[in-house]
Amino acid sequence: MVRMIPQIISPDIKSNAEKKLFTKFRESESDETVVILHSLGVAEHCNNIFGEIDFVIICREGILCVEVKGGTVERSDAYWVFTNRYGKRETKLEGPFVQVQGNMHSLRTYLKKRLGNQSPIVRSQFASCVIMPDCDFTYEGIDIIRDVLFDHSFQWTLSDIIRRSFHYWRERCIRQHGFAGGTLTEQEILQTADLLRGDFRFVPSLKEFIDRAAQELCALTDEQYEVLGALGDNERTLVSGMAGTGKTLLATEQCRRAFWTGKSVLFLCYNHNIAQYIKSRLHGNL
């Protein structure tokens, strides 16, 4: 079972490549539990003030970070340039492979702080890959990892991405460190997803509700004073508003002011209770 979080892509996402991958991942099928997080923010990034991982794939093999580069991909004077279908250019000195590995290490560091170094989630295999779905990337270079690059020329699936990426990083860990990361159980997969993007709900305190209500009442009083000022400057004024917006209070105050300045007051209304209320405010002198 493949589960996308969120299940619907945000309308704020402008990248056509991310949209295509989101749909492709969501429609993928698997006999094992796979949770995919889209656009995961990383507050404590190892290189940047704030980072963002395009996709995080959590599965039995471990945790995979995915960097997506759509449109035209080029490098000029050591700078990487990415141009989307709208012609918008994005220039970075850091290449996509360095970028996604920074995200991977930042994610592992965060989990280590939360769970401890001995957690099976922290000790699982971490991996990363770069997907360029719109172009055929044939360049060979010292900073290009072909084994974890998926471009337009390769008709890959979600299972292909998982299999190839984890195979590369496990082999590399064994060569460099003599061991590889472990795998995740279904419970650990769900625990990781909940830790990285769990549901929550916090409600304001009672004091906050009271303070907000007081502010709203003060704002309404200010508006009423503005209307009362208009009533004093005009012989005739039409005041309209929904039920509960304070029309009766305005009428009452205007009657009270007119009465205490010696004017004769006639208040016409359909509701008997309102008439009695106005009369009581003027001490029966209406």
d(CA 42, CA 100): 12
pLDDT at 84: 65
**243 and 163 co-located in one domain:** no
Q: Does 238 reside within a domain?
A: yes
Same domain, yes or no, for 225 and 118?
A: no
Residues 213 and 187 in one domain: no
- Together in a domain, 164 and 257: no
Q: Are residues 20 and 108 in the same domain?
A: yes
- Secondary structure class of 190 (helix, strand, coil): helix
d(CA 69, CA 82): 7
pLDDT recorded at residue 281: 65
Half-sphere exposure of 268 (CA within 13 A, CB side): 0
**Domain edge (last residue) among 170, 197, 224:** 197
Contact 166, 58 (CB under 8 A): no
Q: Which domain holds residue 174?
A: 2-197
| 239 within domain boundaries | yes
Whether 110 and 178 map to the same domain: the answer is: yes
Which pLDDT belongs to residue 131? 93
Using CA atoms of 253, 258, 259, 263 in order, give the dihedral in degrees to the nearest 10. -160
Tokens in use for 102? Answer: 């920074």
What are the Cα distances from residue 246, in Å, to 69, 214, 227?
57, 15, 11
Q: Would you tell me the crossing angle of helices 186-197 and 96-115 to the nearest 10 degrees?
A: 100
Q: What pLDDT shows up at residue 46?
A: 62
DSSP state of 85: T
| Whether residue 234 is found in the same domain as residue 103 | no
Assign 73 to helix, strand or coil: strand
286 within some domain: no
**Strand, coil or helix: 194:** helix
| Residues 177, 266 within the same domain | no
Residue 8 lies in a domain: yes
The whole-angstrom separation of Cα 82 and Cα 210 is 51
Do the domain assignments include residue 242? yes
Q: Closest by alpha carbon to 108, among 186, 51, 187? A: 51
| Cross-strand partners of 63 | 58, 126
Residues 58 and 102 in one domain: yes
Residues of the chain with pLDDT under 70: 44-50, 84-87, 200, 213-222, 225, 281-286
Residue 166 and residue 59 share a domain: yes
Q: What's the domain count of the chain?
A: 2
**Among 197, 218, 241, residue at a domain's last position:** 197
pLDDT of the residue at 128: 95
Say whether both 261 and 182 belong to one domain: no
- Looking at residue 112, its pLDDT comes to 93
Q: How far apart are CA 79 and CA 132, in angstroms?
A: 17
Radius of gyration of the chain measured on its C-alpha atoms: 32
Q: Which sign, positive or negative, has the C-alpha torsion 55, 46, 91, 161?
A: negative
pLDDT of residue 205: 81
